[in-house]
Amino acid sequence: MKTLSTLILIFTLAIGTAQAQKYVTKSGNIRFFSSTPMEDIEAHNRQVNSALDQQTGDFVFRLLMKSFQFEKALMQEHFNENYVESDKFPNATFTGKVTNINNIDFAKNGVYNVMVEGDLTIKGVTKKVSEKGTFEVKDGRVNGKSTFNVLVEDYGIKIPGAVAKNIAKSIQIDVDVNLEKLVK
């Protein structure tokens, strides 16, 4: 009888682990910023999907290129039509892991440094990236933030000579996602 109850306990624990908690958002914010002496250009995408698995550290992002909003209509047009060809490549994705997920106590409020590694795909080109960021745990929610740079030429984005001075070769990316526990 004792063995049976022990077995039941083990099974319950195993099931509990298998249904690890996920944190998700559908309205994450990714901003990019290009700065040159000629001009500064920024765009916001506030419809970013992101999901984090608290157990494994699996971390994914997915966004639609056409959802980037620019101040100037013309820039938005050039971005979609000429630079990222968003009709051909509508999505950008990141699939990776928080490598130090075990250092984060999701039950304790605080700011944690995180290391994120994985594959970033823009315009159909996939590159390995490894970036630093922070998780701010607050009352069961996680605010993930990171700032890093990408080189446009790494992703096959060609900037024509006429505007080469207006667009930076290295673009700053700011990630800001408010992840909430997935309720099923």
Partner 1 sequence: MKKKWLIITGSLAAVGIVAALLVYFFVYNKPHKDYSKAKPDFEVEAITFFEEFRTNAAASSSRYNGKVIAITGQLSSVEVTDEQVVAVFEIDEGMFGSEGIRCVLIPEKAEALMSIPPGSSITIKGHCTGYNETDVILEHCSIVI
Positions in the binding site for partner 1 (CB under 8 A): 22, 24, 26-27, 29, 46-47, 49, 51, 62-67, 69, 72-74, 76, 80, 86-87, 90-91, 182-184
Find the shortest distance in angstroms from Cβ 14 to partner 1.
Answer: 20
Residue 184: CB minimum distance to partner 1, A? 8
How far apart CA 139 and CA 150 sit, in angstroms, is 33
Q: CB of 56: closest distance to partner 1 in angstroms? A: 14
What tokens were used for 53? 């698995």
The residue among 27 and 100 lying less far from partner 1, judged by its C-beta, is 27
Specify the residue, 48 or 152, whose C-beta has the smaller distance to partner 1: 48
One DSSP character per residue, 76-93 reads HHHIIIIIS-TTT--EEE
Indicate the helix (H) or strand (E) that contains 5: helix 2-18
| Distance of alpha carbon 140 from alpha carbon 54, whole angstroms | 12
User: Of 36 and 49, which CB lies nearer to partner 1 in the complex structure?
Assistant: 49
Burial 80-105 (b: 16+ CB within 10 A, else e): beebbbbeebeebebebbbeebeebe
Q: Which is nearer to partner 1, 22 or 141 (CB)?
A: 22
Tell me the closest approach of the beta carbon of residue 182 to partner 1, in angstroms: 6
**What 3-state class would DSSP assign to 71?**
coil
Give the CB-side neighbour count of residue 181, counting CA atoms within 13 A.
13
User: How far apart are CB 5 and partner 1 at their closest, in Å?
Assistant: 33
Q: Which C-beta is closer to partner 1: that of 88 or that of 128?
A: 88
